[in-house]
Amino acid sequence: MSETTDPLVLDLVEWIAREPRLYSEVIETWRTSCPRLTIWEDAIDRGYVARQPATDGVRVAVTESGAQFLREHGRSD
């Protein structure tokens, strides 16, 4: 992962860890038009977050790898 995006990916995973979010909310909040800032894609590609079907749409939740990533960076209990 690029040093430039590391803190942003960490912020995204931490934000989702607080509560599973609707996919639409995640994309609306974290979308960027800069091709060099692929925060959402980086988090998905590394397996830190995953999309899950839900009755109210698609939710995004932190995976076990994402929880480990947070612990390694002192962002989780």
The pLDDT confidence band at residue 54, using thresholds 50, 70 and 90, is: very high
- The predicted model scores a pTM of 0.86
34 phi/psi in degrees, rounded to 5: -85, 115
pLDDT in tens, 28-45: 888 777 777 788 989 999
Contact 27, 43 (CB under 8 A): no
Residue 73 CB contacts under 8 Å (≥ 6 apart), including other chains: 10
Q: What is the set of domains in the chain, with CATH numbers?
A: 6-70 (1.10.10.10)
